[in-house]
Amino acid sequence: MDERFHFIAPRAKRFLFYSARIHEILFDGSSNALVRLLAVPVQRRNLASVSEAVDTGSAESRGGCSTVKTATGGSIQQVGAGQVHHGYPRLHKLVKTKSDDAEGEADAKRGISISDFPIELQRKIFDNVGHIEDVICLGLTSRHFWALAQEYLDRYDASFVGQWAGKNIVCVGRDVEPGDYPPGLFSEAEMDEFRTRTIKKADDNVYLPPLLLPGLDPSSFHSVARLTSLPPNFYSPGLAPTVEVRPPVTVPFTLHHFALPTVSVSETSPQRQELESVVAYSRCRGRDPQDPAFELTRKAMHARSSAAFPEDEPWILRNLTTKEFVRSEAIALKPEFIRGPNIEALGFGEVLLARICWSSTPSPSFPTTNICRGVWAGHRFDITTASSHRCETKGVEWKDVSEEAVGDVANVWSCLMGSGWREQICEMHDNPAIRAFRSRSGQGSQAEDPFTILFSNPARY
């Protein structure tokens, strides 16, 4: 029977909790999680461009602003409407517009607001804002601050993507033997230490009942929890473990043990960025839902992800260890499937899976391949735009291995689906139910999901 595999970044001591057999990972789209972990967002703005946007828009930016409550319950000072400033960002006097002498005197007495500070000081203020919700709210007080807030929001968004860019990555099998490591991943001294190391591991053959909410039918769940230390209140009444939980056993340390929570940290879901952005924006809006500033910026907030990963530029998967790259247009089954670094049906995730798996036992599902001894196992990767790559690697020779990667992917898929695998994958992509299932990458496969049905009986589709 095929063994289960985990995605790990062993030197960084990170892993993805989801595990599955290789053919399940191919079918359920969970390898797409690697794309999110490796894709480097495009730097949309720099300090010069933000300064220019603030300077040129200063007159307009100070109109129609509002007060927004902060996370601490206070309020951010309003930027006065109708004020025109010259010589920004230097401190300066307000220019007198059409008003009587009394209004002019009132303006003179108003004093200087933070919008009059040099941009360096304004950035210091943003630097000391503790919560992303407050960064958004400060930005919403005027177009002036909204332009400045963008670079801080960019930085926040970037913290949820590309976490594994530049890190050594392996898709490791559970049955890998002690002392069996991809070449170059660890030093001889490190491997000597691993050979003498042992670890306490729970018995793989002991399963607990699934975690259920009250009223749900246990038969509707096709997976079971493997953890052996869950508290009783995790279970619905009557569903607490009835099997005898055996004590952990001591075993020699292997590469797969980097996928244990006692050794490494389970990586945050690659989809967390979108969720966090929506939650942060919703919290701000909850403070004053009638504020028109939210409507003016709503589309900009929700378009941030697509701006960070533009679809109008070609993207490449780079092997930073070997200085090789794979082009998106070379692996996409159809040009219209390319969505920036995300390629529908078959993309960079599948290329990586075909080349980074590592185990001591060949996979019976792929007898004509050497997939379990991946040529890229343990290497470092990222996914970036071709233009960024050119700017970064001037004078450095890199090798385009797109055709070799396509050949490896073809060998893997033809083992499962025969010579017509490309057409079959395109047909599956056109099926809305299957496409929706694959969009939940990393969620895990289910016994009755359409990909498992197809794998067991291709004639049905």
* pLDDT tens digits along 63-98: 333 333 333 333 333 333 333 333 323 323 333 344
Mean per-residue pLDDT, 168-188: 98
Given a cut of 50, whether residue 99 has pLDDT beyond it is: no
Percent helix / strand / coil, the chain, rounded to 5: 40, 10, 45
Q: What is the pLDDT of residue 70?
A: 31
Q: What is the pLDDT of residue 110?
A: 62
Whether residue 30 contacts residue 442, with contact meaning beta carbons closer than 8 Å, is answered with yes
Strands (E), 51-130: none
Instruction: Round to whole Å and give the CA distance between 285 and 274.
Output: 17
Closest C-alpha among 275, 317, 272 to residue 442: 272
Q: What is the mean pLDDT of the chain?
A: 76
Given a cut of 70, whether residue 205 has pLDDT beyond it is: no
Q: What is the pLDDT of residue 293?
A: 82
Mean per-residue pLDDT, 366-375: 96
Give the gyration radius of the chain's Cα atoms: 27
Whether residue 261 contacts residue 215, with contact meaning beta carbons closer than 8 Å, is answered with no
Mean per-residue pLDDT, 334-356: 96
Mean per-residue pLDDT, 214-241: 45
Mean per-residue pLDDT, 154-173: 90
Mean per-residue pLDDT, 199-204: 74
pLDDT bracket for residue 291 (50, 70, 90)? confident
Given a cut of 50, whether residue 375 has pLDDT beyond it is: yes
Mean per-residue pLDDT, 330-336: 97
Q: What is the pLDDT of residue 236?
A: 54
In the chain, where are the structural domains located? Answer: 5-41+161-203+248-456, 117-159
Closest C-alpha among 370, 459, 369, 446 to residue 417: 459
pLDDT bracket for residue 201 (50, 70, 90)? confident
Whether residue 202 contacts residue 174, with contact meaning beta carbons closer than 8 Å, is answered with no
Q: What is the pLDDT of residue 44?
A: 55
Strand partners, 324: 319, 399
Instruction: Round to whole Å and give the CA distance between 455 and 461.
Output: 10
Exposed, middle or buried: residue 73 (CB in 10 Å: 0-12, 13-18, 19+)?
Answer: exposed
Instruction: Round to whole Å and give the CA distance between 143 and 80.
Output: 12
Lowest mean pLDDT among 98-107, 179-188, 426-435: 98-107
Q: What is the pLDDT of residue 88?
A: 28
Q: What is the pLDDT of residue 69?
A: 33
Q: What is the pLDDT of residue 106?
A: 56
Closest C-alpha among 276, 268, 266, 320 to residue 40: 320
Given a cut of 80, whether residue 62 has pLDDT beyond it is: no
Which backbone phi and psi does 110 adopt, to 5 degrees? Answer: -60, -35
Mean per-residue pLDDT, 203-230: 43
pLDDT bracket for residue 207 (50, 70, 90)? very low
Regarding predicted confidence, which is higher, 61 or 251? 251
Q: What is the pLDDT of residue 262?
A: 92
Q: What is the pLDDT of residue 356?
A: 99
**Burial per residue of 410-428, b for 16 or more beta-carbon CB atoms within 10 angstroms, e otherwise:** eebbbbbbeeebbebbeeb
Of these ranges, 40-54, 126-140, 411-425, the one predicted with the greatest mean pLDDT is: 411-425
Alpha-carbon distances, residue 14 vs 2, 6, 31, 40 (angstroms)? 24, 11, 16, 18
Mean per-residue pLDDT, 135-155: 88
pLDDT bracket for residue 460 (50, 70, 90)? very low
Given a cut of 50, whether residue 224 has pLDDT beyond it is: no
Residue 296 host element (H or E) = helix 292-302
Closest C-alpha among 149, 141, 153 to residue 123: 149
Q: What is the pLDDT of residues 17-35, one digit of tens each?
A: 889 999 999 988 889 999 9
Residue 287: CA count within 13 A, CB half-sphere: 24
CB within 8 A of 390, min separation 6: which ones? none
Lowest mean pLDDT among 137-141, 251-255, 269-273, 433-437: 269-273
Q: What is the pLDDT of residues 379-415, one digit of tens each?
A: 999 999 999 999 999 989 999 999 999 999 999 999 9
Given a cut of 60, whether residue 210 has pLDDT beyond it is: no
CB atoms within 10 A of CB 100: 8
Alpha-carbon distances, residue 36 vs 161, 218, 267 (angstroms)? 6, 33, 12
Whether residue 57 contacts residue 143, with contact meaning beta carbons closer than 8 Å, is answered with yes
Given a cut of 70, whether residue 215 has pLDDT beyond it is: no
